[in-house]
Amino acid sequence: MSFQLPDLPYAHDALAPHGMSAETLEYHHDLHHNAYVTNGNKAIEGTKWEGKSLEEIIKGTYDANAVAQNGIFNNISQLWNHNQFWEMMSPGESKMPGELEKALNDNFGSVDKFKAEFSAAGAGQFGSGWAWLVKKKDGSLAVTKTENGVNPVCFDQTVLLGCDVWEHSYYIDFRNKRPAYLENFLNNLVNWENVASRM
């Protein structure tokens, strides 16, 4: 059974009033995400990874010492990253659950300080990659950034929130203004109920 492209959890134009256009989602979900599915399935065909879960393949093929990751890892991790990303956004008003607000206050000082740290991580990621809010094994929350398809699964961390900072994620709507895209993501797009449910 090969991996499938999941449908978006909302219509392509549902996020447009919140700063992510239908055109971005047509390219990003229907073409980019779909390419990771197609190329990931092709890459694992006939290998020991066929039939394994996305997480097993990500952990098994990540090479901490490599200058560049391999094709299986790159496609399968990006497939997983995008599966999470669509779920982390919402077209409706999203109120931050109290338990999440408390955790952010406890770990970062305030929600605004968390947002500033997350934005700085995304803006400071040189080239393609992701900004993350993770829960570490000791239960503490942290903001991290990773290059290309690398994600917190590689480091046994639980992903609470991720923001794609590859140019394909923001160039149609924000051109070169990655910080504006990140600010809009945090203030208008994040599904905080989804983030809280991952804790």
Nearer to Mn ion, 164 or 183 (CB): 164
Inter-residue contact 168 to 32 (CB < 8 Å): yes
CB-closest chain residue to Mn ion:
164
CB of 153 to Mn ion, least distance (A): 16
Residues that bind Mn ion (CB under 5 A): 164, 166
CB of 29 to Mn ion, least distance (A): 9
CB of 36 to Mn ion, least distance (A): 8
CB of 108 to Mn ion, least distance (A): 26
Nearer to Mn ion, 49 or 166 (CB): 166
CB of 32 to Mn ion, least distance (A): 5
Nearer to Mn ion, 108 or 162 (CB): 162
CA distance linking residue 164 with residue 159, whole number of Å: 13
Nearer to Mn ion, 77 or 100 (CB): 77
Nearer to Mn ion, 73 or 166 (CB): 166
CB of 31 to Mn ion, least distance (A): 10
Nearest to 76 by CA among 3, 132, 129, 25: 3
Q: For 124, phi and psi rounded to 5 degrees?
A: -90, -5
Three-state secondary structure of 84-133 = HHHHCECCCCCCCCHHHHHHHHHHHCCHHHHHHHHHHHHHHCCCCEEEEE
Sheet-wide strand order for 129-135: 141-147, 129-135, 158-164
Nearer to Mn ion, 118 or 130 (CB): 130
Task: State the helix-helix crossing angle for 111-124 and 98-108, rounded to 10 degrees.
Answer: 70
- Report residue 78 as tokens: 């990006």
DSSP conformation class of 146: E
